[in-house]
Structure formats: structure tokens, C-alpha cells
Structure 1
Amino acid sequence: MNTVLICGGEIEDSFALSFLDRIRPEYIIGIDRGLEFCYKYNIVPQYILGDFDSISPEVLSYYESRDIPLERYKPEKDATDTRIGLELALKLKSRKIFLLGATGGRLDHFMANLKSLLIPLEQGCQPWILDSQNAITLLDRGTKITKDQQFGKYISFFSMGDRVEGVTLKGFKYPLEDYTLLNSEEIGVSNELEDETGEITFRSGVVLMIMSKDRN
């Protein structure tokens, strides 16, 4: 089951609309200013939440008048709207969660969104942050990537925690063998697939994987 969170960051309309049309998620959760995008394109989320401190009264009134579960939170709270949305998506038994509008603008919001990906990962759910240039996810186990599946030209690997032990990269332009990837280094940046299929394996830790491409 796929769930899309439409967040309040920068949304590139054509990319977001194309993605929604392609995966046709079971659930859409509109989060705070992300409702502006929904309103513009007549998208009706199954759930709505946020503190609504950055949304026009017209848009909020429109959705409040509809029969959609809506949760309003005070701006002064310990969790971000995106984190609350992720927790709701997990209650809905989502197997994959995609965040649109989770990049761009304020870097503190992006970092909070990035760290929040650990919540679904710990519960066996694959999380993704997507925009037109980046596909970002976390890995707690090895995976294979094929050229026809990859997003963009570059694939970068970072340690999400203190370290990742035993990193091995096969099928990449810059291979690694049983390497300890530290949080303080960037040896994994801007790698590329050399074979039709690349594989990353590791013994312990959490890997931050970013597939990316240059802006056209």
C-alpha cells in the first residue's frame, strides 16, 4: 500500500502531478501548506493535518467544508507536521511512503524531514523524499539497483548514524569492499552505475541513499 504525504515545502507541479498519476496511491495526506497544491489541482486528500499557520483562509475553509478527517495542531508542539503525517501513514499500514514538498526552502525543515524517515524505516516501511532532481531514502539492509530503475545519473551513499560497517559496492564506477563508512566523510558521493545492476551490502548501520540528477 502506497501513501503520499503532500508537505509544505517547494513542489514542482508537473513532477508531482506526473508522480501521483503514475503510482496512484491508496492514501494522500495533505499537510499544512501542501493543501495549496491540492486545492490548485482539485486533489482531495483522504486525511488532512497541520497547524495551518502558513495556508490561506480560503483554502483551509474549502477543505474544512468537506467530509475529510482533519486534525489541527498548535504551532508550539514537539513534533513537526511531517512527522505526525508519517505516524498516521504507518497507522494506515502503508508499505511505502512518499514525501512530496519535503525539500527546498528552509534547510532546518528539510533536515527534520530527513531524520523523520527513520520512523517508518524502523517499522519495516520504505520511506522516500522525492523532487524533480532527487530520490532520497534510507536502507537498513543491502539492495540492488538497475539502470532502468534508477532515478537520475548519480547515486550517493552516506552514513545516517555514526558509521556503517562492511560497506561493499559492486557494479559501480567506484567500488568498495568491506568499508567502514563514517558519518564525517563523503567518499560515497556521486557514484554511478557501471554495470546494468549495482549492489550495496553492509553488516550494520543505516545508509542514506540519494539518487540525483543535474537540473536541465
Structure 2
Amino acid sequence: MAYERCVIFGAGEYYEGPAPAIEKGMLAIAADGGLDHMRAMGLSPDFVIGDFDSLSGDVPDGDRSVRLPPQKDDPDLLSALKVGWSRGAREFHIYGALGGRIDHTIANMQLMALLASHGGIGYLYGDGSIVTAIADGALEFPANHVAPRRMISVFSHSDVCHGVTIAGLKYVLEGAALANTVVQGVSNEFVDGSAATVSVESGTLIITFPIEAPLPVVRLRHPFGGDLGALDTTVSSALAVR
């Protein structure tokens, strides 16, 4: 069965707010200790994947469980993304991947950029905010009523993003260049009742926005190719264990 959307439950922090949900037609994947969170919420995964170093309960048997070695290049979340991608998903909703260890948080943001570089879209759900990425395209937010001082911020993941346009927000840009050493797009705000667009002609942007804002429509400037690759259960020579 092919899926267009996938929800992934990670082992990290879960916060107050809308409860994670598995909507009809979504592929549900538990990444390692994310299975504990799913069980606590009374949810069942289609697949479970990980080295299970953070899982407190039993590992399910059967071909829906993918056990990974503890020493490998790919983190558990990337492996879960690869499973979802290989089954047709191009939109990913990810819980338990922000907060906690800062290195994991940074890595998971980079994975959103990886999805974007292949024409996919991922949403990391955190403490009142969502983190996503867009490459060579636009995020179009419908008109909304997000309260003032609930920030939307735009960062360049690429060395330089060209043709960055921010429209419909409190502060606007038109065809600007943003570098990954410049924070020109931080701390913007929605305008009450107005639609908004964040777009980039060339490059990858990381965007954070309030969790209560409506999810954007994704517009891509061109077709994307390639995929996330096969599951990698080895350690490269560059990361050889001593």
C-alpha cells in the first residue's frame, strides 16, 4: 500500500497542546522509544524501527519491526523517514524530535532540510512551535488569527539562499539574499486575518512557526528527483569505531 503522509513518533520530548493523531490514510511509524509514547496514548504503529536503546517496553515481533544495530551512520529518525519515503510518503509529521538533547534537535532540523532537498516536507512538533524546511519553493499560510508576539522565523540552511520573499507578515522581504550566518528573518509575526507567504528561489530555508497556525500549502518551483536512500545499518570508515 502506498501512502502520501506519514506520522513518526520519536523518543524525545512531548508537550502540552494538541494530542498527536494518526489520521486516516497516514502511515504510522514508531522510532525506538517513540513506541513507549504511542502505547501510552493508546496508538498502534504500522512499523517500529530503531536500535531500541531508549525503549522501555518489549520490542514487537514480526516483519513490521526493524531492528538496527546501535553503531551506525543513520540515526533512528532518518531510518524512519526512509521507511516512510520508500512507501510513498512525502509529507511527514514528527513528534518527540525536539527538546531534550540539543545535538538531536539540530540533527532533526537538518533532516527537515534533507526532506526539502528531495521535494518532501516535514513538520517537527515542539513546545508550542513547529519547525519545517522548504527548498526552491514557497510555503503559503492561509489567513489566520494567531495571537500577537507568537513568532514565525526564517533562517537560511544553505550557505546563501537567493530570492527570499516574505509577504503578508509584519516584516516583509522582496527577493533578498539570506546567508546562514545572518539572522535577518528572526522574530516575525503573522498579521491578523491575512494570508502569508515565505518563498525562496534557490536554496533551503528553515522556518519555525506557532503550532496553532494553519499548516501551509507547499509550492515547489520545479520537480525534484532522487530519494532518501536505502536503510543504512553500517558504520562508514569515517566513523569507524575504535
- The structure, 1 or 2, with the larger RCO (C-alpha pairs under 8 Å, 6+ apart) is 2
* Cα distance, 1:27 vs structure 2: 1.0
Per the alignment, residue 35 of structure 2 pairs with 35
In the other structure, the counterpart of 1:187 is 184
Question: CA offsets per residue over residues 61-105 of structure 1, 9 Å max, x none?
Answer: 4x33xx561111111111100000011110010131111000111
For the 8 Å contact 2:92–2:123, the answer to whether it is kept is yes
Secondary structure at the counterpart of residue 118 of structure 1: helix
The match for 2:161 among 161, 164, 172 is 164
Structure 2 Cα separation of the partners of residues 89 and 213 of structure 1:
23
Aligned in 2, Cα 1:150/1:20: closer, same or farther, shift over 3 Å? farther
TM-score (normalizing by structure 1): 0.86
Q: CA deviation at 1:25?
A: 5.1
CA distance in 1, matches of 2:6, 2:48: 13
Q: Which residue of 1 aligns with 2:138?
A: 142
> Is the 2:166–2:174 Cα contact (8 Å) retained in structure 1?
yes
- Give 1 or 2: higher helix fraction: 1
Counterpart Cα distance in 1 of 2:89 and 2:211: 28
**CA 1:33–1:95 in structure 2 vs 1: closer, same or farther (change >3 Å)?**
same
Name the Cα RMSD after superposition: 2.3
> How many residues align structurally?
206
- TM-score normalized by the length of structure 2: 0.77
Match of 1:84 in 2: 79
> 2:102 pairs with 107, 115, 125, which one?
107
Which amino acid in the other structure matches residue 143 of structure 1? L
Amino acid at match of 2:203: G
Unaligned runs of 5+ in 1: none
Indicate the residue corresponding to 2:170 in structure 1.
Answer: 173
Partner residue, 1:200: 198
Q: Deviations over 1:36-81 (max 9, x none)?
A: 111212321000010011222xx224x33xx561111111111100
Q: Give me the whole-angstrom Cα distance separating, in 1, the residues matched to 2:28 and 2:180.
A: 34
Identity, in percent, stands at 26
Q: 5+ residue gaps in structure 2?
A: 213-242
SS at match of 2:42: coil
Deviations 1:86-136 (A, max 9, x none): 111100101311110001110111111111123322332211111241111
* Aligned residue identity for 2:98: T
Partner of 1:19: 20
